[in-house]
Structure formats: C-alpha cells, structure tokens
Chains A and B, each alone.
Chain A
Amino acid sequence: MTKINFVDHSGQTRTIDVENGATVMEAAIRNAIPGIEAECGGACACATCHVYVDEAWRAIVGEPSPMEEDMLDFGYDVKPDSRLSCQIKVTAELDGLIVRTPERQA
C-alpha cells in the first residue's frame, strides 16, 4: 500500500492508502476525494481529473505524455506542474506523494 496525499483548494489534506498499480484518479474516486471528477472514467479524454504535483515530487512522477499534454490543453487553470491523475500509476516509489486539486475541474 502506498500513501497519497490530496490537498484541496482550501488547503485541507486527505491521505489515503492506495494499492500499487491503480491510478491516482481511481484511488481518488474510490475514496470520494472531492475535486476530482473523471468524467470520461480514465480514458485520458476529458481533463477533469487534473491535479498539480507537489514540486518535491515532480521529478519522480515525471512529465505528461504527448497525449496527456494534448488533453491538458482542455484543463482548467493548467500550470507547469499539472498532470492528469488518471495517467499517474501508483507505485511504491510514490509513497507520500502530494497532489493538489484545482479550484474547479471545468
């Protein structure tokens, strides 16, 4: 199990235990984390599971793929640390990951 921290727009942190292999988006939806919508259900087709990756974690999480970059064009308030959480697979390496959810998804 890997711990993932979600910080919402108001600054409140929610920490959940996630099974490795799931995506950060799936973990968020299963645990009813507010601020993640995932309209398309994880197909990298809607940009409503957008998160900001904490600076300390950006190198470990990595950069978005070209397909994900394309989808981020349709995200709300996209920044250099933006990722789509449906494209981040949880591994032991990510234990303690901090992601922030934007004010809105669309």
Chain B
Amino acid sequence: MRCAGIRNDNYSCEVLMPLKISTRTTDDELKRKVREISGEIFSKCFQCGTCSGSCPMVEHLTTTPRRLMALLQAGQGEALEKVNTPWVCASCHTCMVRCPRGIDIPKVMEALRQIVLRQNINRIEPSNLQPEEIIDLPQIAMVSGFRKLTG
C-alpha cells in the first residue's frame, strides 16, 4: 500500500490505513491527556499541511505532523502508538512559527512523548552509550537527548 507524502522506505506505513473511526475506536482519554499536558487546542488544526511542508525531519517520519494531528483529533490512540513522529521530532519549532492556526505543535509532540516516558519507558538507553561517544558528545546533546527521550 502506498502512503502519500512519505518518502522513506525504512518504515512501514501499514499502520496508517485503513482506519475505522467510530465512537468505539476513539480514545477520549488520550485526547484529554494531550490537551492537558500540551495546553494546546489541537482541534483548531484545519489540515493545511504547512507543518509537514516545514518539517526538516519529514522524510524520516512514518507519519507527517499533519496526519498526526488528524489522528489525534480522531482520538486514534492505537495508530498514534505506532507512529515515530514524536520520537523523530527535534523540537526545532519551525512548524510552530508557521502554523496559520497558531498551534504549538512541538508541545503536542512533547505531550505524546511524555505520555509514554511517564510510564518509565525509555526511548533510548543512556547505559547503551559507548564511552568514546560520551567523551565526544557535548553535554548539551546528552542533557537534551535524555530530557526528550528518557523517562
């Protein structure tokens, strides 16, 4: 199955379609949590795709930011669990400064990360870093990486 707008072959796009959206597949609790942690009203998104067009990481994403916003609006928790978007997001804030609806998308990504990280699930394991990497990396890389990708 072909995924429009996604250029990287490393990731499977199967999770995206088809999606059956009904009251039974809608996770209102997830929507509430994201709303609470991010402080953002993501229902304002009108799917223009400016975020996807601006994202420097877009070719490494399984799901573009625009599509992620649609999944979130529809409360598609199961699909959202499978996408890599919040984990590849570099919090560069380009989408945020360009969003015509004024949505702070990096905050939405942070909320999706936090929901996982707060269950003590790490995305990267600091103990797996090699000593030569640790010596080489600037501290800001490690501090920011651990802040964003570990619980």
Asked whether A and B interact, the reply is no
Interface residues of A (CB under 8 A from B): none
